[in-house]
A = this chain, B = another copy of it.
Amino acid sequence: MRLGWERVRWFVFGERLPTARAIHERLPKSLALPVFASDAISSSAYATEEIVLALVVAGSAALGYSIGVAAAICLLFAVVAVSYRQTVLAYSSGGGAYTVARENLGTMAGLVAAGALLTDYVLTVAVSIAAGVAAIISAVPSLRQERVVLCILCIAVITVANLRGARESGKLFAGPVYLFVGVCLLMIGVGGVRLLVHGVETARPLMPTEPMPAIGILLLLRAFASGCAALTGIEAISNGVPAFRPPESRNAAATLLWMAGICILLFAGITALAQGYHLIPDSRGPETLLSMLGRAVFGSGFLYAVLQAATAGILILAANTSFADFPRLSSILARDGFAPHQLANLGDRLVFSNGILLLGVFSSVLIAIFRGHTHALIPLYAVGVFLSFTLSQTGMVIHWRRLRTPRWRLKAAVNGFGAMVTATVLVVVASAKFIHGAWIVLLLVPLVVMAFLRIASHYRRLAAALSLEGYQAPRTVRHTVLLLVPGVHRGVVQALAYAKTIATDCQAVFVEIDPRDTGKIQQQWQGLKTGVPLTVLKSPWRSLTEPIIRYIRTIKTERKVDAVTVIVPEFVTTRWWHKLLHNQAGLLLKFALMFEPGVVVTNVRYRPEA
């Protein structure tokens, strides 16, 4: 009996799954890695370029510092990864920065981290998809006109894949991620061996060897900050611990270390190779540093094409990390009462469907507003990332101080060092990029936090208002039924039978829109001999609802009635277009009586045999 919408749902989203199967939907490490790490790994595609571009303003000789800066970032990456590993082991229920900051630094800090992360996830989807589509359009320029459509199509595909469930989306996304890692490692290996064997001569010597210039600390900091783009996405695993197979924490920690290793290896290898080949990217040109490197190592043949395709693929899939994390974080917020409860509902396929849909909609809107040109959004999300890093790691310091587990001083020192560095990066990025858009995030995060607080206050007040503590249940003493009579027919007779069943005190009311109808209705009603009186309510303005509301108020005060049930007879139409042929009186009346205390509107449906 799978009909219409059910059949479509089944085809697109797959067989729905019982709650008991939740444990089987968990991800093994080999699939969790591509699901959670695609964002972080994809950063390797552009982080080196960011450093080089920041340094090159001081002259091409300054590029010699790039190895040093990259080393510092690798160190930072390792420190943050170790810190997050400690978090993953300490917090097995997920939540990452939000949970850690909330437990150790208080609710506000937690909500700030959550607001920053949610904002980031939306930005990440928009930016990654737009970048991936830009790569496709560079290859097939005839698609240029369809940029926005392509972006939204990509988002739709990823949304559906995620609605099908975590396991399937892991399978779908594993290919491109592993391909990108593989082809990059191959490039680093081949290029490195060539450099060792043949020396720099094999590469195109673009840069004369001159002594490295003395450059300012500020420039180095800026280069460092730019390169920190490599760290975006590192927190993904800490939010997604519950999606791992048990033992969740240990598996997540292992996956985190694998991810960190891969990222550091790719980032360091690409930076060293670029330095070895003396490559300088042109900030205004169309070619990326990674593409230059690929051509230098592989030539312009098949392997170069694979590299470019894999880069485009992983950039689009970086969005998938957000699709794994946004719904999970918002479900945790919903459980804690800071976000709409519906975000905590498990869908047919045991994923947080509402969160997935919300992210798809938000990012599509962002893409549509910016018409697919989202480069301006890139600096925005570094701010959010480092804000949540800082809060999370500061929280961990408090955590260790509180628990005083073995070696807590060392652990606290590691986290504290990380917090200090990320706080510095946060300040540098936020001030350097303030007028380029960082102000948007600094405005948006407080707004999101305010929304969290208002939602929480609504749920809290509702819970108080619903509390049974000291509550005296009302006793309904007098109950009366008003039967709305639109005309005299079988449907009304059935509704009258129901009305007599639920109350002894019934009366019928007819709203007189056209005075010429009244006589006939009254006559027909008397012919029925129901024993129930018919009251005619005049309606000089042809409104159905107003006379009824007035009449209800009158009988409630005059006859001291506590509860009034208004019965609206209604046809059940078997075809959708039949609905258009009838007035939606029941709906209108329901809406109008929404705020009338002590009134219940009941539709009694009649299904004509025709």
Contacts and interface: CB of A to CB of B under 8 A. Distances in A.
Q: Could you say which of A466, A490, A500, A542 has the most chain B C-beta atoms within 10 Å of its C-beta?
A: A466
A602 B600 contact: yes
Interface string A588-606: 0010001101001111111
Given A18-B540, A462-B608, 6 more contacts: A19-B540, A455-B581, A468-B490, A473-B496, A476-B500, A476-B501
Contacts of A594: 572, 605
Contacts of A609: 465
Contacts of A347: 542
B607 A597 contact: yes
Contact of A600 (B528, B578, B605): B605
Contacts of A287: none
A311 B528 CA distance: 62
A501 B458 CA distance: 31
Interface stretch (A46-54, A62-70, A257-265, A338-346): A338-346
Q: Can you list the 8 inter-chain pairs with the closest CB atoms, starting with the nearest?
A: A465-B608, A466-B489, A461-B610, A502-B502, A18-B540, A465-B610, A476-B501, A602-B602
Contact of A341 (B458, B494, B582): B582
Given A464-B610, A540-B20, A578-B458, A583 B346 contact: no
Given A465-B609, A468-B489, A583 B497 contact: no
Contacts of A455: 581
A474 interface: yes
A609 to B, nearest CB: 5
Contacts of A502: 479, 502-503, 565
B467 A490 contact: yes
Contact of A468 (B461, B493, B540, B602): B493
Contacts of A604: 600
Interface string A448-465: 000000010011011111
Interface string A376-413: 00000000000000000000000000000000000000
